[in-house]
Copies of this chain bind each other. A is one copy, B any other.
């Protein structure tokens, strides 16, 4: 049996382009003891993909090299198995790759088929885990504080803001279009949403944060970074979850001077979820709880077929996706 997959053809110079990926045909592997074969049904497209293909041996995860199958998270069904923990017919979620079939690994989790796949990919798994760990474990907010989140209409940012509201924070979102801002305010219940493309962003941020900012959740980098930094309150916290606006630059923009990190006693802390797998269960339980209370809304942007990933992944970096982006096979 043969199946289709995509390799990384070359590292992008700047943003992803279609010629970064190359379709290949692979032969179904022979299973050894402990192996299992997964037929992917849904593949997640995430901003982190741009960092995975960087030539950075220091990063938290092995870089994807030209010639490797491109990495992804995804959901699939076990179709052959020599591993009793992953029986045929079970649904798994984990690192899959841009491929119709993949050999499963021990990092994969079995998930009950009663769980809605869209909710799984959009809320419970990577975006929800990222948002929960970042906000609750790194940010450690207190009720009544002011939270500003960039990339607020993105898969992580939209959850961060909604968890913030559920936890009693005043939440300001920053996004890239008026339509996204309306969605954040009208549907998701953000206290205010700002379009970072507006000329008077600084004045708008000031008006929206009359008591300053206690917690800034950074998903994007770009101009909002320095504006939010300058409005941080003493003893405030900045959670650095992502920098999507910076990934495609040859030289990322500098950050703010460290003088105010000292004088205002700020904590600026980054994280990657691979360091927090011990909190997966807690996170899934908490996210499920918010969902059941109706405190989380999400929208999904679904593409059809593996081939759609090539152009689809580029939407993330032009901000054109509308909600959590994934491919349905």
Interface residues of A (CB under 8 A from B): 51, 56, 58-60, 218, 221, 225, 234-235, 240-243, 246-247, 252-272, 275
Contacts and interface: CB of A to CB of B under 8 A. Distances in A.
A265 B272 contact: yes
Contacts of A254: 254-257
Given A58-B234, A60-B234, A234-B60, A253 B264 contact: no
Contact of A270 (B240, B253, B263): B263
Contact of A267 (B51, B255, B262, B267): B267
A270 B275 contact: no
Given A58-B234, A235-B275, A275-B235, A266 B257 contact: no
A240 B261 contact: yes
Contacts of A269: 261, 265-269
Contacts of A275: 235, 265
Contacts of A262: 218, 240-243, 270-272
A56 B241 CA distance: 30
A158 to B, nearest CB: 19
Contacts of A260: 270
A220 to B, nearest CB: 10
Given A51-B263, A234-B60, A257 B272 contact: no
Contacts of A256: 254-255
Contacts of A60: 234, 263-265
